[in-house]
Amino acid sequence: MDRDELIIQVKQEYADLASKDSQITTVNEAGNEISSEAYYEELLGKVLDGITKGRFDQFKSGTEIVEAVANNKTKYCI
């Protein structure tokens, strides 16, 4: 799939997740407590960087990327 299309889809997926979890706080990699919106924004930036670098070229949709990253952040250098 075209990287630009994947970026659009991934942005929408993370926006949907952030809106569903809007009242939840989590702990980021640095150990700081942050809002779910900030967490997803941080994650989105890393995934978008990966898409730009071709790390997700084998995926067919943004949903597949979001699910793969959720299941194995280490594998995708997130």
> So what's the pLDDT on residue 57?
95
Question: What whole-number distance in Å separates Cα of residue 56 and Cα of residue 54?
Answer: 5
pLDDT in tens, 23-69: 666 666 677 788 888 888 989 999 999 999 999 999 999 999 999 99
- What is this structure's pTM? 0.82
Contacts of 58 (CB under 8 A, 6+ apart): none
Single out the residue of 18, 20, 5, 22 nearest to residue 65, CA to CA. 5
